[in-house]
Amino acid sequence: MDVSAFAKLFDHSIVRPNASRAEVAQFAETAVRLGTATLTVQPHYIRFAAEQVRGSGVLVGTVVGFPHGNETPSMKLYQAKEVLDLGAEEIDMVMNIPALKNREAEVFIRDIEGVVRAAEGKTVKVITENWYLTEQEKELACEWIVQAGAHFVKTSTAYADGGATLEDVRLMYRVVKGRCRVKAAGGIREIGEVLEYLQAGARRFGSTRTDYLARAFQDLPREKRALFAEYGPGPLRSSHASGAA
């Protein structure tokens, strides 16, 4: 794996509520220079981000139902349509946490299905926000998210008290069984941790530290870089391709 393939594992993300236009432009420059999978921004900055990355191959990502996920399915559907009209090319949405805890399967699945349908084949990642969940709830959430047709399950928003953990990624990878992929976000700070998370099953990362991690990867000895080779980003399945198992 070379550094360009390594960078494609990352959504270079600036979704802080107080991010300025100048900061978004700085993140865009890094995303374009590295060739990350996406530059992920708050909806307010979608059009600006699209201008900054145009022609680079870096996609514009954004968030729906962020950071709590408690909106109704129709509210998230409206948000999804709006951000797509603005130019978003990938969506990270927060699942309906109360619907999960109350075992409201129909509402939970419809909430995600609406965004997946609106996205018309564009990648949808569903944030489970594992800090708030029991192990059983994490398993159930992943199963329902797969049933709803999403492309990724994602560990966290980085707004709760806890971010990604290796144990959670292993659990999510085990439950989804290849029917969708796992994204790790929140608290992954060193290159050795990236490899550990890849080995645990993660195939995409949300990070504000992508530049640092890419430099750290490039500085590794050849034999250490070779350990990453089998984890390069591959094609995603098409939406609903795997369905419910």
Residue 114: CA count within 13 A, CB half-sphere: 21
The reply to whether 11 belongs to the active site is no
Options 125, 138, 183, 211, the catalytic residue:
183
Options 76, 125, 154, 168, the catalytic residue:
154
The reply to whether 76 belongs to the active site is no
The reply to whether 85 belongs to the active site is no
Options 11, 92, 168, 211, the catalytic residue:
92
> Which positions are annotated as active-site residues?
92, 154, 183
